[in-house]
Amino acid sequence: MSPFPREAYRPLVRYSPDRRPVDVDLSDNTSRWGPHPDVLETIRQAAPEDLVLYPPVYADRLREAVARRFGVSVDAVATGCGSDDLLDSAFRAVCEPGEAVRYLPPTFSMIEIFARMNALEAEPVEQAAPVAELVAEAGGGEALIDAMVEGAPGLVYLCRPNNPTGEVQPAGWVHALADACEARGIVLLVDEAYADYLPPDTPDLLERAAGSSRIVVLRTLSKAWGMAGLRVGIAVGAPEVILEIEKSRGPYKVNRLAEAGAVAGLEDASDWVPGVTAAAREGREALAVELRERGLDPLPSGGNFVLLPLPGGATTDGVTAGLRERGVAVRPFGGLELPGHRAPTDCIRISVGPPAEMNRFLTALDEVLG
């Protein structure tokens, strides 16, 4: 008999972010602007059978709404219980046990965990500087792509904008990475959880993915749409990969209320989402200005959050605890190895909210940093 618990699971712990209640929670990048009103209204009107009956097996009404919204065919769309579910399903669907998942650290913390959960090898690829800087050097962008695809990993993951750094890799470089993956038959997962926060007309990978052979883009309704509690994720990409992801994901993963709410949200053509995302961009830039005025050096970000390397003498644990005592939660990132930084750096990640919340955060930060 093999040992229990299984070998690969021994280092795993249950995911345990600090969830003690706090006045202003800027720790998990959920929306500080509330839920999409059409989604809320739809769920309020739930019928008794929405609880009694199973949902459609593969959330086909939702797949159709996604296809209409993004102008892609239904067979290019999969959905899941959050995009986490789609990441997990994609890892399992695409890779044989023992194969490598390549990614650029620091990135979404769940990648290493899902790799381990699916008996895969998490293989971080060292990134010497932000991609835009590498691309500006002769051959720097190509060298990074080569390192990500060499030896044929099972899967390549890229987060754009990247959590937690906020980096938005140049579109040209991402397309070159996609070319390299497609040429070698490697599946490329582009996590665009924060793409809603990019300025309108910023190129993303979604359109290309639907017509590709190996590219899948992940979106979520957990951030800009204010629906993290409903757990709805979206994958758009190569139909042959999408089919495998659906097999791996299995039936009934999006519940009836979540599906109905998500459909209502996606069908809304008003400027509600553009409005909240524009407010988040403005708030983010205003926050960065405030931080720089204090002599701090936040990283440029394309998301609804800012990563702040702490000044000398301040530690992630100390600052996070001090902020919490003052009613503000942020996400701690201790000893982060950032592209282009020589030494590990203590950081905090701050989700962007409306001005009153940012003022509360800044007041608390000033007290904590003295």
* Residue 332 in contact with ligand PLP, rule: CB under 6 A: no
CA distance 301 to 284: 8
* Nearest distance in Å: CB 188, ligand PLP: 15
* Residue 302 in contact with ligand PLP, rule: CB under 6 A: no
Q: How many helices (H) and strands (E) does the chain have?
A: 14, 11
CB 58 within 8 A of CB 85: no
145: left (phi over 0), alpha (psi -120 to 50) or beta: alpha
* Nearest distance in Å: CB 45, ligand PLP: 24
Q: Which range, of 79-87, 95-103, 205-213, 292-300, touches ligand PLP by CB under 6 A?
A: 79-87
* Residue 83 in contact with ligand PLP, rule: CB under 6 A: yes
* Residue 305 in contact with ligand PLP, rule: CB under 6 A: no
Q: Residue 338, Cα to own-chain centre: how many angstroms?
A: 18
Residue 76, phi then psi, degrees to nearest 5: -95, 10
- By C-beta, is 86 or 238 nearer to ligand PLP? 86
- By C-beta, is 130 or 314 nearer to ligand PLP? 130
- By C-beta, is 222 or 301 nearer to ligand PLP? 222
* Residue 277 in contact with ligand PLP, rule: CB under 6 A: no
Q: Which range, of 201-209, 216-224, 261-269, 343-351, touches ligand PLP by CB under 6 A?
A: 216-224
Nearest to 329 by CA among 308, 348, 310, 303: 348
- By C-beta, is 123 or 191 nearer to ligand PLP? 191
Strand partners, 123: 102
Residues 49, 51, 52: CA angle, nearest 5 degrees: 60
Interacting residue with ligand PLP among 24, 26, 29, 215 (CB under 6 A): 29
- By C-beta, is 114 or 314 nearer to ligand PLP? 114
Residues 6+ apart with CB under 8 A from 167: 130, 131, 160, 161, 299, 300, 301, 302, 339
Which residues in this chain contact ligand PLP in the complex, by CB under 6 A?
Answer: 29, 82-84, 108, 159, 163, 191, 193, 220, 222-223, 228, 233
